[in-house]
Amino acid sequence: MRLICCLLLFVVAGVRAQTVDTLHTFYLSEVVVKSAIQEGDTLQNFFRANKSATTEDILSRLQGVYLIRRGNYGQEPMLRGMTGGQINLTIDGMKMFGACTDKMDPVSIYIEPQNLKSIQATLGSEGSKLGTTVGGSVDMQLAQARLSSKPISGRAGFGYQSAWNGFNSYANANYAQQKSAYYVSLNYRKADDYRAGGGEEIPYSQYEKINLSANGKWAVGQDTLKASALLDDGYNIGFPALPMDVGSAKARIYSIGYQRFRLHERIQNLNAKIYFNSVFHAMDDSHRKNVAMHMDMPGTSTTAGGFVEGNFHPSGKHTLSFRTDYFNNQVLAEMTMYPEGASSMYMQTWPASGRSDIGFYLNDVYKINRGTQLLINGRVDWAATTLKEGFGMDQLEVFYPNIQSVNQHIVGAVNLKLKQLIKSNWIAELHAGYGERLPTLSETFGFYLFNRYDGYDYIGQPDLVPEKNWSTDLTLNYFTNRVQVTATGFYNYLPDYIFSSIHPELSVMTPGAHGVKIYENISSATMVGGEVSALTNFSKNFQFITAAKYTRGRDFEGTPLPLIPPLTINTTLRYSVKNFNAQFENESASLQKNINAAFGEDETAGYSIFNLRSGYKINWNKKQLLVNAGIENLLDKKYHNHLDWGNLPRPGRNINVTIEFVF
Amino acid sequence: MKTLFSKYTFLFILAAAAFSCTDNEIEIDPTASLTKISEGFAIGAATKVEVWSDQELFAGYNNIFIALYDSVSGNRITKATINFYPEMSMMGGMKHACPLENPAMDAVDKLFQGALLFIMPSGDMGSWKLDIKIQNPSNNKTGMASLSVTVANPTNACMKSFVTDASEKIFVGYSFSKGMKVGVNDFEVMVYNKVGNYEFVPVENYSFVLTPEMPSMEHGSPNNVNPTYASQGHYKGKVNFTMTGGWRLNLKISQGDALVTDLYFDVEVE
Nearest Cα of chain A lies from the Cα of B191 at a distance, in angstroms, of: 27
- Answer yes or no: do A398 and B215 touch at CB < 8 A: no
The three state secondary structure string of A542-598 is EEEEEEEEEEEEEECCCCECCCCCCCEEEEEEEEEECCEEEEEEEEEECCECCCCHH
What letter represents residue A554's amino acid? Answer: R
Does the beta carbon of B178 lie under 8 angstroms from any beta carbon of chain A?
Answer: no
Question: Mean pLDDT across the stretch A579-608?
Answer: 93
Kindly state whether B135 is in contact with chain A, defined as any CB-CB distance less than 8 angstroms. Answer: no
Which of A344, A394, A399 has the CB atom closest to B181's CB atom?
Answer: A394
A544 touches chain B (CB under 8 A): no
Q: Is the pLDDT of residue A557 over 80?
A: yes
Give the per-residue pLDDT at B25.
62
Other Cβ atoms within 10 Å of B23 Cβ, number: 6
Smallest Cα distance from A507 to chain B, Å: 6
Q: Is A398 on the interface with B (CB under 8 A)?
A: yes
The average confidence (pLDDT) of chain B is 89
pLDDT of residue A50: 55
Asked if B240 reaches chain A (Cβ–Cβ under 8 Å), the answer is yes
Element at A28 (helix H, strand E)? none
Q: Is the separation of the CB atoms in B224 and B237 below 8 Å?
A: yes
Query: DSSP letter string over A472-524?
Result: EEEEEEEE-SSEEEEEEEEEEEEEEEEEEEE-TTSPPSSTT--EEEEEEEEEE
The arithmetic mean of pLDDT across residues B131-138, rounded, is: 90
Is A154:A444 a contact under the CB 8 Å cutoff? no
Residues B88, B40 contacting (CB under 8 angstroms): no
Convert the pLDDT of each residue in A286-328 to its tens digit. Answer: 888 888 888 999 999 999 999 999 998 888 889 999 999 999 9
pLDDT in tens, B225-257: 999 999 999 999 999 999 999 999 999 999 999
At A194-226, the pLDDT tens digits run 999 999 999 999 999 999 999 999 999 889 999
Taking CB atoms and an 8 Å limit, are B217 and A339 in contact across chains? yes
Contact yes or no for A508 and B219 at CB 8 A: yes
Q: Whose CA is closest to B218, among A541, A236, A512?
A: A512
Are the Cβ atoms of B242 and A391 closer than 8 angstroms? no
**Where are chain B's structural domains?**
35-149, 159-269
* Domain B159-269, CATH number (from 3.30.565.10, 3.40.50.1100, 1.20.1050.140, 2.60.40.10): 2.60.40.10
B238 to chain A: which residues are within 8 Å by CB? none
Report the C-alpha gap between B42 and B71 in whole angstroms.
Answer: 9
How many angstroms separate the Cα of A165 from the Cα of each of A110, A248, A458, A654, A657? 22, 21, 37, 9, 12
Sheet strands (E) in A289-443: 294-315, 318-338, 345-369, 372-387, 406-422, 426-437
Secondary structure class of A164 (helix, strand, coil) = coil
- In angstroms, the CA A228 to CA A255 distance is 5
Nearest CB among B240, B242, B246 relative to A347 is that of B242
DSSP collapsed to 3 states, A309-350:
EEEEEEECCEEEEEEEEEEEEEEEEEEEEECCCCCCEEEEEE
Residues in B touching A339 (Cβ below 8 Å): 216-217, 245
CB–CB contacts below 8 A, A to B: 76
Average pLDDT, stretch B4-32?
Answer: 61
Q: Does B221 touch chain A (CB under 8 A)?
A: yes
Interchain CB distance below 8 Å, B223 and A398: yes
Contact between chains at A394 and B183 (C-beta distance less than 8 A) = yes
Judged against a pLDDT cut of 80, whether residue B15 lies above it is answered with: no
When the candidates are 2.60.40.1940, 3.40.50.300, 3.30.930.10, 2.40.128.130, the CATH number that belongs to B35-149 is: 2.60.40.1940
Residues of chain A contacting B221 with CB distance shorter than 8 Å: 398, 507
Q: Look up the CATH number of domain A2-662.
A: 2.40.170.20
Contact list, A337 vs chain B (CB under 8 Å): 217, 243, 245
| A507 part of contact set with chain B, CB < 8 Å | yes
